[in-house]
Structure 1
Amino acid sequence: MTISAAKVIPVQKHYGVRIKKFIVAVLNGTSLGIVMTLIPGALVNQLLLLFSGTPLATNVSFMTTLIQSMLPIVAGFSVGQIFKLSAIDSGSIALAIFVSSGAVTQTKAGLVISGTGVILNILLIAVVATALVKATGNMFGHLKILLQPLMVLLIAGGFGLITLTPLKAVQTLIGETVAYATDLTPLLLGAFLGGIFAFLIVSPLSSVGIAMAINLTGVGSGAANAGIVVASFTLAAMGSRVNPIGATLAHFIGSPKIQMANMLTKPKLFIPTTIGAMIMGMVATILNMTGTPFSAGFGFSGLIGPLTAYTTSDKSLTAIVSVILTFVILPLVLSFLLKWLFMTKIKLIRSEDLKITGL
């Protein structure tokens, strides 16, 4: 029997929509995991410097640092929550992601937990493990609690260990590509770094990790932070009508990576953020905003970007004014101009494009 093309196309389209929704849901869950584990440290790191050496600061720093390495586990459970999966399903996904994330490495002395892991691999295994859980369904019956975690761990987690090294190499390659920008003229350097770090901060890549890998310092670090700040403010402003106040503030107090799913599935959102970031990157260069490899990639989060720019300056009144202009006033003005241009004038973007699900 011959099946007409008219009947096949809708079926293919239906599966395409389902796959897209599935990937978006995984991205949303992973984004929530990233934000939940990274925001606490970003909020208190600079404040803890005032109490450096005290037991309180030591304990709080230990807690906020340790939870960053729990990103793969929290992301796995967040994905399970979005899909309304059972505790066993969610736990199975979390375990598979954790063992293959790269957050834990084996040494002669034992296992070492460090960093957040390779987020590209975390995303990939989140997709694989979730698909595996949903595909197997109730296959194990009453033995599910015994067999499902092991099955997902061996298949998805084992696959993740294979893909970990290549995806880590991809991240390194991107970092090396960004490093070439340091050979550009100052204004071009500022524009390029502002734009590229505004992209990195909402991508599966670690903006801070790449900044440290290429030892990004001086005006390059300042330009990168300025680009992230205006991108954060712009996304917050454009989505303020459809997102709760906490989620809106999380864009710049925490991390704009909360918008990762929307950005990757609606590439048009990169247009206003990139334009704003390139402008502010040049402004930061003109105003001689500086930073360190550690501060680059944080933006406004935890006030790390602006405070580092101030502490690495001559601390004059001019420096204070320049920091406020670069990291507060101009990004705010530019974000609302971009919102008006792309949402009211051109009407390329709608508030619903930036709605965060799973909150």
Structure 2
Amino acid sequence: MKITSKIFTLNILNGLSLGIVVALIPSALLGQLMLLFGKNSLALRVIDMTSLAQSLLPAVAAIAVATLFHFNTIKTASIALAAMIGSGVAIPTPKGFVLHGTGDIINTGLTIAIAVGLLILIGERLGQFTMLVAPALILVVAGALGLLILPSVQEISEIIGLGVNQITQWQPIVMGAVMAVIFSILVVSPISSVGIATAIGLAGIGAGAANVGIVVTSFTLAIMGARVNPLGGTLAHFIGSPKIQMANMMRNPKLFIPTTLGAAIMGAIAAMLDIKGTPFSAGFGFSGLIGPITAYQATAQSAGMVSKVLLVFVILPLLLAIGLNYIFSQRGTLIAPTDLKLPNN
């Protein structure tokens, strides 16, 4: 099959999306649950395992991309090696390498794209020497290029972070609506919503609005695609991350219309209800219940806080998502369920 630029781009984005969800779901499902067991050794071990899974995101994403390109085992492993290097997830220290976070997701995607492009360019020219040459070649060339562009790519996130930080000075309700929209876009892009929130120290009402923007985006995309996606894929939107729809969002920009509208409404409501968050929770949304739990803890003294949290993180986003699905997909024809079909379903 001839690989066009469109197929190439979609395979990279789809594989990256799947890799992100696979690597992050263990922590989303088990992370907060294990915290309930305090210092229990088994619970701490599970937390360690889920943290390691997150740091292996570049390799997992590379495997997912390679699968979509139908590469063999050697080529797949070679891309995974390059992705781990180019992502910046492994930081060299005097005592060896230390894995930190998930690495830069944008740079992970670019490194994988370089590696895939090289393998397509080489084709079968290596013949019987593929096993000897391909791993070293892809590691050194794609991995090195990834490291070379990493500082410039990280600057993009820093610039975005500075811009987002300025919005926190606006009037609360307007700020809440805009912040929710920004994070609803970030969460389905290659840029890390958690990384941006942490980098700028986003807290208080701004963090709460960011959270609910992600939540309503998760529910909206899940419900709109529920007819063409399996139950597990539907639940993965908010239990894991709506970033699983990244490729579809890039291919069909019209999908941003309902999510942006829903995020603006929920962000304003969250600000009016004084829903708060922390730099750590702001980019997670519903995933792992981090957003709702943090919102409750941030204002636990307020009367009726449990009801507020349920209203803002479950009831209103769900009702709004159902309404948006009715307007744009059932009643209207702007969006078809197939626009949100996940790969490999």
TM-score class, shorter-chain normalisation, is: over 0.9
Distance in 2, Cα, partners of 1:332 & 1:177: 30
Distance in 2, Cα, partners of 1:49 & 1:115: 19
> For 2:22, which of 36, 39, 55 is the aligned residue?
36
Distance in 1, Cα, partners of 2:43 & 2:280: 19
Give the C-alpha shift of residue 317 in structure 1.
5.0
Please tell me whether Structure 1 or Structure 2 has the larger radius of gyration of its CA atoms.
Answer: 1
Secondary structure, counterpart of 1:51 in structure 2 = coil
Structure 1 residue 344 corresponds to structure 2 residue 343: no
> Deviating runs (4+, > 4 A) in structure 1?
none
Return the letter of the residue paired with 1:118.
D
Give the C-alpha shift of residue 107 in structure 1.
2.4
Number of aligned residue pairs: 345
Distance in 2, Cα, partners of 1:279 & 1:33: 31
TM-score w.r.t. the length of structure 1 is 0.93
TM-score w.r.t. the length of structure 2 is 0.97
Give the C-alpha shift of residue 344 in structure 1.
2.6
Return the letter of the residue paired with 1:105.
I
> Which residue is 2:103 aligned to?
117
1:210-359 equivalences in 2 (<5 Å): 210-359=196-345
Distance in 2, Cα, partners of 1:358 & 1:176: 38
Deviations 1:161-215 (A, max 9, x none): 1111100111111111111111110011100110000011111011111111111
Consecutive unaligned residues in structure 1, runs of 5 or more: 1-15
Give the C-alpha shift of residue 346 in structure 1.
3.1
> Which residue is 2:160 aligned to?
174
> Which residue is 1:46 aligned to?
32
> Which residue is 2:142 aligned to?
156
> Which residue is 1:22 aligned to?
8
> Which residue is 1:73 aligned to?
59
Deviations 1:11-62 (A, max 9, x none): xxxxx99211111011111111111111111111211121111101110011
Asked whether the 8 Å contact 1:29–1:358 carries over to 2, the reply is: no
Q: Assess, with a 3 A threshold, how the Cα gap between structure 1 residues 29 and 339 changes in structure 2: closer, same or farther.
A: same
Asked whether the 8 Å contact 1:197–1:207 carries over to 2, the reply is: yes
Asked whether the 8 Å contact 1:103–1:117 carries over to 2, the reply is: yes
> Which residue is 1:133 aligned to?
119
Give the C-alpha shift of residue 98 in structure 1.
1.0
